[in-house]
Structure 1
Amino acid sequence: MIRVFAKTLTDKLRVVFDLEGSGRLILYSALVGVVAALGASVFYVGLNSVQSIALGGWLGYRSPAAGSESPPALGVQLPPADRWWLVLLVPMVGGLLCGLLVYTFAPEAEGHGTDGMIRAFHRAKGFIRGRVPLVKAIASTLTIGTGGSAGREGPIAQIGAGFGSVLGTRLGLNDADRRMLVLAGAAGGVAAIFQAPLGGALFAVEVLYASTAVEFSAIIPCVVSSVVAYSIFNAIFHVDVPFRAPNVAFNGITDLPLYLVFAVICALVGFVYVWSFHNLRSRVFKPLRIPNHFKPAIGGLLVGLIALAGLPHIMAGGYGWIQQALDGKLSLQLMAMLVAAKILATGLTISSGGSGSVFAPSLFIGAMLGGAFGLACEQWFPGLVPAPEAFVLVGMGGFFAGVAKVPLTALIMVSEMSGSYNLLVPLMVVSMINVAILSQRWSLYQEQVSSLIDSPAHLGDFVVDVLARIRVGDVHDPSRPVTMVREDMPLPEVLRLVARSNDSYFPVIDDDRNLVGIFSLHDIRSALLGNGAGNLILASDLASSPVATVVPDDNLHTALRLFTQKQIAELPIVNPENPLRVVGMLTREQVIHAYDRQMKTHQTQQQRA
């Protein structure tokens, strides 16, 4: 009685809820979000601790506070002159330790981790080695904590993605679902550490492509993971937005001309940034005839030289200096110098093999570029231009949008991180124009592909046009008998019938030969292992319902979608005038053979033409 009630309830729930498809994935995505939040928390504490010791303690360097952070107890301090040698030594040692760790245990963790996540999605079926997240977290903590010019987005994206991959593998999920959990993990990590739940979700689905393509199928898992990770991280640390937004607003059409000019400038500087970033790797560090383990130490030493030259602002993420620019406390000359210095420092840190991301440096460069442009416009056209601080905020999002090809992510993420949507319109204008002007080939993420059709992850998706032209009735073999089972047939008779049949799926019918359910060989394995059940188990107990079916006029694309959603290998074909009357069975193999025949026919026609 209880078993029958439970089965009936389950069948009813399946009618209302997609328990087999997205329901299961949502549950897994929430679990990934929990672990992404905990991973982000450990990484956040570890990075702050190393920075406090290495930069604050050893170097005596304390950057300004950003957002809700408490100002340094001793105020903003630059490295004292008598510790000049430590300014060179600390980043160099951090780079050395990073290089030894990464190239010994997980070479794929070098550089900015976002590319690793993108590569896993497109080319590795969502597989990320279990050790990669741990190595990436430690290596990035060493690189950024000792002054390397890098950010936290890449490491935390790879940490979250790595757990998503491990969970998907342990659960035995298929390649498509494992890829979804990889993106969900990346979204959760980014959402947590940057306090940007919507931005984190958009980042994971948008950063995969160098065009305007978006991985729409992953939006729900990414949103679920982002919300969970954001909520847990915020409950632990009670942090506010990373930046305090200036009290500025968009004044309408009169502001647009300068924002249009600024968008072009962002594209030009973005080209220089991407060009230098990749050429430092390919033409400077890669040809060096020394083991890769030691190259990040050279990058760290050169970053130390830039800091020693009077620009320690470029060390680590630089969020405090971004806040200073937002508050209007930096000069035009200093911000202009910091644009060039940060471009060089970021290339030296990451292109040498150091571990970190390009997100924070891109925000920094865009902020300083916007601040310098705004101050210059204010000097040239006093009283006729927006406040310079407005260009700082717009520059943060607009610049990153172009160099990373993520316009939606950039404008939403910067708005979330600053807690202000007052400049959403100019952010949209600058982000979209920058992406449109700067060619797809000039992106910081080399693993991006142009569109869905270029991704190995979607290689099978583009059979749709062919299958949509073939009907189920065209491939149905009416001469093939269907083994149907009465719903009241006891288990021993079911087993004898199955043993004599070559079929794998068995429709269950009532006394009027109407379809009431279906079971497969997999469904009766537990019954085969049972002992003493005998006539107590009937065919109706084995069957699941409602049954996914097709009619002869349905196309094979519809059938393929049902095969994928329900994760089954056969579908009953029913009479269109009586949807409960089974007239045949359609198999995956029939769909594949039909596709092959159609493609061979098409190729033959092309050769003749």
Structure 2
Amino acid sequence: MRTTHASTHARLGDFTARPRMLVVTGLAAVVGGAGAVAALALLRLIGLVTNLVFYQRFSTSLVAPGAQHHPWWLVLGAPVAGGLVVGLMARYGSEKIRGHGMPEAIEAILTGGSRVQPKVALLKPSSAAVSIGTGGPFGAEGPIIMTGGAIGSLLAQLLHLTANERKTLLVSGAAAGMAATFNSPLAAILLAVELLLFEWRPRSFVPVAAAVAVATVCRGPLLGTAPVFPVDASGLHLTPAVDLLAVVVGLTGGALAVAATWLVYRAEDAFARLPVHWMWWPALGGLVIGLGGLVEPRALGVGYDVIDQLLTGRAGLGLILGVLTVKTAIWALSLGSGTSGGVLAPVFMIGGALGAWEGMLFPRAIPGFWAILGLAAVVGGVMRSPLTGVVFTLELTHAWPAMLPLVIASTAAYALSALVLKRSVLTEKIARRGLHLTREYSTDPLETFFVREVMQPVEHGRLLAAHETATHTRIGALRGSAGALHPVVDAEGALVGVTTRRRLADATAAAAADAEPPVVHAATVECRLAVHPDQTLRQIAHLFAETGLTSAPVVDPATRRPAGVITLRHLLSARLHDLTEEHHRERVLPRRAVAG
């Protein structure tokens, strides 16, 4: 009888996956180049809107709205007008442009099969340019992540690809856009792994890395190769006291991250209770931005110039406190209105301001040192991506000697945020839409156990032979429930099929009615799936899912003789072992052994 050989199926799957990975990598390289161009286009568009609104000139250079004095009515009215335009674009264009981009990309991956509508690729950067260019205190990275992701998704939708391959190209575009914006290839890859891919496998990692590499190379002639916020760290001398104070920066940065995250979603809840359509919310958020701009004009816009002053130690106390209070408030409150803009640049500025303020009390290291640590800490706390926070900061500043205190600060902030908040600012919105998202990665326990370790062995004397008579005594000696699977073998002991106690009983009753001897062969059916002892439980789980079966005989691959039976219940053994290791506490060494 025909059987399905699981190991052959797995080998063929691995073999066919290799050329597919190369094909997707080639496509990802194309997406990477397009992502770099899209990043340049978005930055130029933001510069154009900013110049037109605040300086009444036609230029695409990236300038700050508050770099010079503006009339009060312009500072107050421009963000309101920009919010109104974004609200109209969202209602009559696509609601997907609302928000800061990353939750929307995650949602497209989790629920949409990594499909992004073509109009989103145009509306998202346009709405972000309007929002930021009219004074919105946001960054360009969130919209470019969504735009780059849309480019990758659109290319994938034009081709005959799987959902996983579409996801890989979507993430490739998102990471490429981020890498091109900040000249941060490694941080872009880490963010893709920590937040968007939900896996670390060659099939997705290699294409994403290829896209990021191409985007970073393309950035050279488009935007330059220098770090975005260069810092001279050659004179940095680290001491244990500095490393200890890095913990303080990390904890305060984590506390600020918790407060800002809380404020964003309290604002979102407050807007949801308003008796007006959500289309008007960004305009109301713009009013908050305008009022904040009257207090501290430098808090408006992307603020790259302010970040540079903070990280190089050139910011005064007035600017530091103004950014720390006003920027945090208007960013959190306006983001809760559902307008379009990213979170990274504001987090950079807020974290840098916190560190710069603390640096006035701490020992001097190099100009901007404590601001650098504050930036990494708030990124680690807000985004719950500590490695990304460290690498991002290093690639932005090239302050490589500061790696250890950066790790300490970012990890301390991440730990505090994880202890206090269930979710980050990037994933809370996903949870509020009824989706479950975990960012904790561990080894699958099904991957660490083999079939031979959990299967129910079949004793040689209890094997059913196809030619033997199915007596009531013989049937009663079989273990398990009436529907449990039992292998049937031929005269040489090789598997020929499977049966159950219920089938044997029915066949015995039918044979008795016909006055014929009940033979096991009459109750034997084709074996749809036979597995091997050296396969992992993860492979078996996949095969059960593919075939719809809940049990299968385990056979020796050389002799085809049954060695046992595996069921869904046996797969839970690995999960039980995992739970035991996590929750069971015991003393391994007795006290006497330690004392001796």
TM-score w.r.t. length of structure 1: 0.70
| 2:149 counterpart of 1:161 | yes
| 2:529 counterpart of 1:553 | no
1:99–1:294: 8 Å Cα contact kept in structure 2?
Answer: yes
Match of 2:226 in 1: 240
Match of 1:41 in 2: 40
SS in 1 for 2:326: helix
Matched AA of 2:139: G
Give 1:89 deviation, angstroms.
Answer: 1.7
Matched AA of 2:277: P
Q: Which of 56, 69, 85 is residue 79 of structure 1 equivalent to?
A: 69
1:161–1:184: 8 Å Cα contact kept in structure 2?
Answer: yes
1:37–1:232: 8 Å Cα contact kept in structure 2?
Answer: yes
Match of 1:176 in 2: 164
SS in 2 for 1:479: strand
SS in 2 for 1:93: helix
**How do 1:199-598 residues align onto structure 2 when only pairs under 5 Å count?**
199-208=187-196, 215=200, 218-247=204-233, 248-283=235-270, 285-309=271-295, 311-377=296-362, 384-387=363-366, 389-439=368-418, 440-441=421-422, 443-445=424-426, 446-447=428-429, 468=451, 469=454, 478-479=495-496, 552-555=532-535, 557=537, 559=539, 576=557, 596=568
Cα distance in 2 between the residues matched to 1:476 and 1:231: 60
Q: 1:470 to 1:132 in 2, by over 3 A?
A: farther
Give 1:364 deviation, angstroms.
Answer: 0.3
Match of 1:105 in 2: 93
Match of 2:178 in 1: 190
Matched AA of 1:351: G
Match of 1:130 in 2: 118
Match of 2:584 in 1: none
Matched AA of 2:315: L
1:97–1:142: 8 Å Cα contact kept in structure 2?
Answer: yes
Match of 1:486 in 2: none
Q: 1:470 to 1:342 in 2, by over 3 A?
A: farther
Cα distance in 2 between the residues matched to 1:278 and 1:168: 34
Give 1:214 deviation, angstroms.
Answer: 6.3
Matched AA of 1:253: P
Give 1:345 deviation, angstroms.
Answer: 1.2
SS in 1 for 2:532: coil
Identical pairs, percent: 25
SS in 2 for 1:51: helix
Matched AA of 2:69: P
Q: 1:339 to 1:216 in 2, by over 3 A?
A: farther
TM-score w.r.t. length of structure 2: 0.71
SS in 2 for 1:19: helix
Give 1:296 deviation, angstroms.
Answer: 0.7
1:471–1:552: 8 Å Cα contact kept in structure 2?
Answer: no
SS in 2 for 1:425: helix
Cα distance in 1 between the residues matched to 2:399 and 2:309: 17
C-alpha distance after superposition, 1:111-136 (max 9, x if no partner): 11011112222333323223222211
Give 1:389 deviation, angstroms.
Answer: 1.2
Cα distance in 2 between the residues matched to 1:429 and 1:366: 15
SS in 2 for 1:352: coil
SS in 1 for 2:276: coil
Match of 1:26 in 2: 25
- Unaligned regions of 5+ residues in structure 2, if any? 1-12, 459-484, 489-494, 499-525, 549-553, 576-596
Q: Which of 139, 143, 162 is residue 151 of structure 1 equivalent to?
A: 139
Q: CA RMSD in A?
A: 4.2
Structure 1, 106-115 or 322-331: larger mean CA deviation = 322-331
Give 1:333 deviation, angstroms.
Answer: 3.7
C-alpha distance after superposition, 1:44-102 (max 9, x if no partner): 22122222222333799x9989xxxxxx9xxx84224xx22111121111111111001
SS in 2 for 1:376: coil
| 2:35 counterpart of 1:55 | no
Cα distance in 2 between the residues matched to 1:17 and 1:35: 28
Alignment size in residue pairs: 488
Matched AA of 2:535: N
Q: 1:59 to 1:46 in 2, by over 3 A?
A: closer
Match of 2:508 in 1: none
Cα distance in 1 between the residues matched to 2:154 and 2:147: 11
C-alpha distance after superposition, 1:286-344 (max 9, x if no partner): 111112112111111221121122x1111111110111122322222431231111111
2:255–2:413: 8 Å Cα contact kept in structure 1?
Answer: no
Give 1:232 deviation, angstroms.
Answer: 1.6
Cα distance in 1 between the residues matched to 2:24 and 2:62: 42
1:123–1:457: 8 Å Cα contact kept in structure 2?
Answer: no
2:446–2:571: 8 Å Cα contact kept in structure 1?
Answer: no
SS in 1 for 2:401: coil
Matched AA of 2:401: N
Give 1:366 deviation, angstroms.
Answer: 0.4
Matched AA of 2:248: V
Give 1:350 deviation, angstroms.
Answer: 1.7
